[in-house]
Amino acid sequence: QAGAVGLEIYNLKGQRVTTLVNRFLEAGAYTAVWDARDAEGRLLPSGSYLYKLKIGSFEQVKLMEYVK
């Protein structure tokens, strides 16, 4: 079903690095690509990052590894 969707990237200190998606989307399958840059466009180092996906009242946080 359609709803508000948010996809944010965080460092392990809990600081938001960037927001990839923050909008209302219709039901369907979507893809988001992160280019390993922060909100100011700076390339980030390899390491562990968290991503938080919010869809309506659903929220999930997962760990990911970025390797150059």
* Sequence ranges of the domains in the chain: 6-17+35-68
What confidence tier does 68 reach under pLDDT thresholds 50, 70, 90? confident
Question: For the residues 6-10, what does the mean pLDDT come to?
Answer: 99
DSSP class of residue 29 equals -
* Structure-block tokens of residue 58: 């659903």
For 15-58, the pLDDT digits (tens) are 999 999 999 999 999 999 999 999 999 999 999 999 999 999 99
CA 9 – CA 49 distance, rounded (Å): 7
Helices H / strands E in the chain, number of each? 0, 4
| Span 2-15, average pLDDT | 97
Mapped onto helix, strand or coil, the DSSP state of residue 64 is strand
Q: What is the pLDDT of residue 31?
A: 96
Q: How high is the pLDDT of residue 1?
A: 85
Structure tokens of 29? 């399958």
Q: What is the CB-side half-sphere exposure of residue 58 using CA atoms within 13 A?
A: 9
